[in-house]
Amino acid sequence: MLDLAQEHLPIHLTSLARRYGNIYRLNCGNTTMVILNNSEIIREALIKKWSDFAGRPHSYTGDIVSSGGRTISLGDFSEEWKAHRRVAHSALHRCTRDSLHSVIEKQAHHLCQVLWDYNGKSVDLSEDFTVAASNVITTLTFGKSYDKSSVDLKKLQDSLNKIVSLWGSPWISMLDSFPLLRKLPNPPFSRLMKEIARRDELIGKHIEDRTVALQKKAISGPGFLKLETQNENNKIIYTHVHMTTVDLLIGGTETTSALLNWTVAFLLHRPEVQNKVYEELCGVLDVRYPQYSDRHRLPYLCALINEMLRLRPVAPLAVPHRAIRNSSIAGHFIPKNTIIIPNLYGAHHDPEVWDDPYSFKPERFLEGGGGSLRALIPFGGGARLCLGEAVAKMEMFLFTAYLLRDFQFLPASKEKPLPDLRGVASVVLKVKPYTVIAHPREQ
């Protein structure tokens, strides 16, 4: 029997792979899940046989959280879902091409200013990283960014975080397996319903404000929210636009900020790595701030980012897939409706693929270092590839480069232990809270 409440489920599933092999089956109640733990096997399911495994599991509570499956992340594979993803993808692509760079640059400068203002104090930076990542998404979606103290931002984040945590609670997930319980009073479920109503009111208001501002030409911007609702034979309705905003806010905030937080935590353990990045930045760019187009001339910085994505894939178990029809993976028969869990954490720690897989070694991604970009799959792949991959890559590059150009990260004090690098995994794999000193570099 699998304990799904393990503090670090991906590590647990990875240890099972060492015992039972890279593909194994688990029965949880009346649900059968197949866990994939190696990048070639994951690629076979998600990329080569994408049309067999592009479904998402159905559930009573999932339907409620996603307005009847009308999110990109939780919606099942259908003509309506394909139209939704296509429209969102091209709108996001337009933003990425036209304005994303300047949006991230602005947030990176702002983040550095916030760190300067700490004046060498020892602080927990996780909230600042969350605000920076969230501001990138709210600029694209609402044409607005917020300060850490903003009530609007707090309300929005609080509501989204509560929904994610309530939805994951056993009091609510048991409603999926035992329909009779839905008739009994269930306070956590009532709280979830209230929170969903609050989320929809907040998002609805932001979308309305944005539409009015655009009509009055009070703001100009990428216009992401003007996803054309009449597009694709009227398949895309207002609810899709609304839920796309939820998708981007949830998918694009905690992930990017968790990865930045991991990066600083690892650099505290290995100060020579941040010095190497700093020297590379100074050598190549002199005093100017980096552009995304500089990435080809900054191999060590890119190697650091790849190593972080490998060691701490922040969506360690991706999002569950569902077999749409009978198929096979690695020669094993997979019946229709089987739930497929791509264990990206396991794939990134596979000793058959990675030398010394648990060690932090950015050099493995330098030329001749032996690291395999093909086996690096932090964003999944195929029809369900992370919608924000391009956004996340640009954010990771610019945020990390700005931070390491302007600051040296130092341990909070000699007495305090360095950050615990094991982390806690729920939907997102996060480092446990720690404090750090951001010491300004002399330019």
Binding interface with ligand HEM (CB under 6 A)? 46, 72-73, 85, 137, 247-248, 251-252, 255-256, 259, 313-315, 318-319, 342, 378-380, 384, 386-388, 391-392
Q: Which is nearer to ligand HEM, 290 or 381 (CB)?
A: 381
Q: Are 398 and 374 in contact (CB under 8 A)?
A: no
| Measured distance CA(343)–CA(21) in Å, rounded | 13
Q: Which is nearer to ligand HEM, 251 or 290 (CB)?
A: 251
Q: Are 249 and 141 in contact (CB under 8 A)?
A: yes
Least distance (Å) between residue 61 CB and ligand HEM: 18
Least distance (Å) between residue 175 CB and ligand HEM: 23
Collapsed DSSP state (helix, strand, coil) of residue 346? helix
Least distance (Å) between residue 308 CB and ligand HEM: 9
- Cβ-count burial of 1 within 10 angstroms (0-12 exposed, 13-18 middle, 19+ buried)? exposed
Bridge partners for 31 per DSSP: 28
Quickly list DSSP for 10-60: HHHHHHHHHHH-SEEEEEETTEEEEEE-SHHHHHIIIIITHHHH-B----H
Q: How many CB atoms lie within 10 A of CB 154?
A: 12
Contact residues for 25 (Cβ-Cβ < 8 A; gap 6+): 32, 33, 34, 35
Least distance (Å) between residue 260 CB and ligand HEM: 9
Show the tokens assigned to 52: 């067999």
Q: How many CB atoms lie within 10 A of CB 200?
A: 16
Q: How many CB atoms lie within 10 A of CB 136?
A: 27
Q: Is 302 annotated as a binding residue?
A: no
Q: Which is nearer to ligand HEM, 175 or 344 (CB)?
A: 344
Least distance (Å) between residue 258 CB and ligand HEM: 8
Torsion of CA 176, 157, 242, 179, to 10 degrees: 10
Return the closest-CA partner of residue 260 out of 443, 73, 107, 39. Answer: 107
Q: Which is nearer to ligand HEM, 97 or 439 (CB)?
A: 97
Angle, helices 389-406/238-269, rounded to nearest 10 degrees = 40
Least distance (Å) between residue 247 CB and ligand HEM: 4
Q: Which is nearer to ligand HEM, 252 or 371 (CB)?
A: 252
Q: How many CB atoms lie within 10 A of CB 184?
A: 9
Q: Which residue in the shown chain puts its C-beta closest to ligand HEM? A: 388
Q: Which is nearer to ligand HEM, 151 or 373 (CB)?
A: 373
- Give the Å distances, CA to CA, from 130 to 125, 136, 255: 9, 10, 9
The alpha-carbon radius of gyration of the chain (Å, integer) is 22
Q: Which is nearer to ligand HEM, 262 or 354 (CB)?
A: 262
Q: Which is nearer to ligand HEM, 385 or 421 (CB)?
A: 385
Q: Which is nearer to ligand HEM, 191 or 393 (CB)?
A: 393
Least distance (Å) between residue 311 CB and ligand HEM: 12
Least distance (Å) between residue 21 CB and ligand HEM: 21
Least distance (Å) between residue 179 CB and ligand HEM: 26
| Measured distance CA(376)–CA(394) in Å, rounded | 17
Binding-site positions: 386
Binding-site positions for heme: 386
